[in-house]
Structure 1
Amino acid sequence: MTTEPRNLDSTGPVEDFGSSLGVLFRAYQGALGGLAGDLPHGPRGYQVLSTVIHGNQPSQLSLAAHLGIDRSVMTYLIDDLVEAGLVERRPNPADRRQRKIVATELGIRTFTELERRVHDIRSTVLGALAPDERQALCSLVRRAADDIQKNADLPR
């Protein structure tokens, strides 16, 4: 006779958290890929543009580290975003040796339009959840991700 492992907080079988995250991630990335296809580097370009607009990374190197992107890859990615007129490199007022990546007006307009559509994608991917559950899930995932980024001992 075999017994199924049980969750500590329910009576059902243990769910494969990684598998569930993988399903959500693939659905989200697939939909986002079609949406951000015209953006240099697609979803990754969107991620960088979002972080440039919403974050406060003092340099291209810190932006790469924050996003977990190899610094040489980040150089090409930023070059392509600059060429598209979406961002520009400016001297960092706090350290003139650094270049801060800043969104242009076109970059902000482009991101604002994409952000609305990304919100719709998130709502579709999480369609099985009520709006307050979607908000709670996104908040909890963001908090867990922020903790991982702050704790260098955890894998990225």
Structure 2
Amino acid sequence: MIEPIVRGALRWLRRNPPPEPAKPAIVHGDYRSGNFLFTQDGRISAILDWEMCHIGDPMEDIAWAIDPFWPITRHYPLEQGLGLWEQASGCSLDRSVLGWWRLFSAVKACAIWTTAEASVASGASYEMTVALSGIRAGHFHRKQMLALLRELGAIA
């Protein structure tokens, strides 16, 4: 069963698709600080968990990385980090398109948390971490979807 807020977010995403990416790229799909290994001087030495990798819009990875649930902003202030990405990639970020991807990321996260919760409810998993992530993170991302839908002008 899809929750009303997720259903509403999906409806808005379908009705307001982003433009095709100017420069399609390899998208990691789970690009966040928890999936990096670092050297002692703070440089990224490896990126882990490539199972959601695909060709697409690099804004998907940016939106996932800046999700407030695992804020990369603890390393850089948001605008500074986005500026560094623009400088390194040679591409400019369209903030309205980034808004679409941020909402998409919240929906994707809710799908992951719902699946985690269901695996515990069905007895397929007995891991407390999985159960708690489904409860805590799912609630967080439902609230995030509401905030993003307001920010995008989809709801008052």
Which interval holds the TM-score relative to the shorter structure? under 0.3
Higher relative contact order (CA 8 A, sep 6+): 2
TM-score (norm 1): 0.26
TM-score (norm 2): 0.26
Larger Rg: 1
